[in-house]
Structure 1
């Protein structure tokens, strides 16, 4: 048997095109079904102000079948995880765009810190990208998935801190580790803002969170003006 005879017959081009067209159509239909489930969940969150609803409510709202739901999601938590990942991706895009408008590395980092704080702040009646109740549930039950979902924002903060380090404004260290600590500070401060430890204290502001983060990672020369400004206020 020759080498040429051993080769499989070439599939006709029309057959390849037909299969590709069919695959694209099936993928589009699946994406549309998934999107309807996500939009229905978002509507329920907006109406109830919580993620306390059932899969059946999502199915009824989307006007699709329960079978279709479980073809795309293992359960309610996976659908909400998809919403959470989308929200973080949207948040990351907003932070990247806003910080990119600043030429000064420290100012770009400040913009990113304050914007993430506002995005993470629980505000009844206002749809926030990072809705707090499910975010905290995920953190406890699915920490690995939460870490993966946060990667787009983590990479932005890592880049911003690295740029600020190169400019001499941030203490040299491990940018990704520093970014992780800064993000945790921002997001947990925002989440806890509705329930302050001191009931007589006023809510924490984005500026306060920025000053706290800055003094934690900045060089002495950068931190000094912030300390001097605080002394004058006292």
Structure 2
């Protein structure tokens, strides 16, 4: 007959859980120090052209500790990218959620994402233009996962606008994806001459273009 293992006393379970929570908190603090150090270097250098050792030195931690949490620099940058996108999603959800008009809510979301995506390495943004495309090419699955919170917000906003009848019914998830890609791509290349067009694009212009695509009504000059 197989012996039934005795259940651990409650005090022992509490002690183990407390120890686990403390270890998790210390790990989270170490990770945040690495992220903060990398963000400071990006702001100072206005580029992601820094070394892992610089991050380690800035964070006042060890190289061994860095590699306990990250496989390398690309994973650190991906963590920054994912963290910033998550914050962006939360900000957009909160601001858009304050609007009773679903079309106005969607408009605010588009304009906020556009402003947040403009190339400015000295400011914390959801997209760091000098490495976002590299991550997309080399780690597409991870980048797609990082975009999920933001994609969910835009999907909900498109669904609400369609339910209210202010835009035609379609495929909300696919529409949200196309919408996000359009806004981010235009923001990253904003101000770059394209043919005879060299003036910077405004958030209002981006919204009008996206609205034309969602509603099926051509945008007129």
* TM-score, with length taken from structure 2: 0.94
**Correspondent of 1:7 among 4, 7, 19:** 4
Please give the alpha-carbon distance, in whole angstroms, between the structure 1 residues aligned to 2:104 and 2:193: 28
**Correspondent of 1:47 among 44, 55, 59:** 44
**Correspondent of 2:210 among 209, 213, 219:** 213
The residue number in structure 1 matching 2:59 is 62
Please give the alpha-carbon distance, in whole angstroms, between the structure 2 residues aligned to 1:24 and 1:125: 35
Count of residue pairs brought into register by the alignment:
221
The residue number in structure 2 matching 1:183 is 180
Please give the alpha-carbon distance, in whole angstroms, between the structure 2 residues aligned to 1:200 and 1:27: 52
Asked whether the equivalents of residues 171 and 218 of structure 1 are also in contact (C-alpha less than 8 Å), the reply is: yes
Please give the alpha-carbon distance, in whole angstroms, between the structure 2 residues aligned to 1:25 and 1:33: 12
Which is further off, 101-110 or 199-208? 199-208
1:129 aligns with 2:139: no
The residue number in structure 1 matching 2:160 is 163
1:196 aligns with 2:190: no
Asked whether the equivalents of residues 122 and 194 of structure 1 are also in contact (C-alpha less than 8 Å), the reply is: no
Please give the alpha-carbon distance, in whole angstroms, between the structure 1 residues aligned to 2:200 and 2:88: 23
1:174 is displaced (CA, Å) by: 0.8
**Structure 1 gap ranges (5+):** none
State the Cα deviation string for residues 181-234 of structure 1 (Å, max 9, x = none): 111110000000042314652101101110000001115xxx48x64xx4xxxx
- Change over 3 Å in CA distance of 1:19–1:87 after alignment to 2: same
**Correspondent of 1:144 among 141, 144, 162:** 141
Please give the alpha-carbon distance, in whole angstroms, between the structure 1 residues aligned to 2:19 and 2:7: 20
Asked whether the equivalents of residues 106 and 158 of structure 2 are also in contact (C-alpha less than 8 Å), the reply is: yes
Q: Which has the larger radius of gyration?
A: 1
1:18 is displaced (CA, Å) by: 1.5
Please give the alpha-carbon distance, in whole angstroms, between the structure 2 residues aligned to 1:26 and 1:124: 33
1:129 is displaced (CA, Å) by: 3.2
* TM-score, with length taken from structure 1: 0.89
Which is further off, 195-204 or 159-168? 195-204
Please give the alpha-carbon distance, in whole angstroms, between the structure 1 residues aligned to 2:169 and 2:138: 34
The residue number in structure 1 matching 2:70 is 73
Quote the RMSD (CA, aligned, Å): 1.7
Higher helix share: 1
Say which SS state the counterpart of residue 193 (structure 1) adopts. coil
- Change over 3 Å in CA distance of 1:141–1:126 after alignment to 2: same
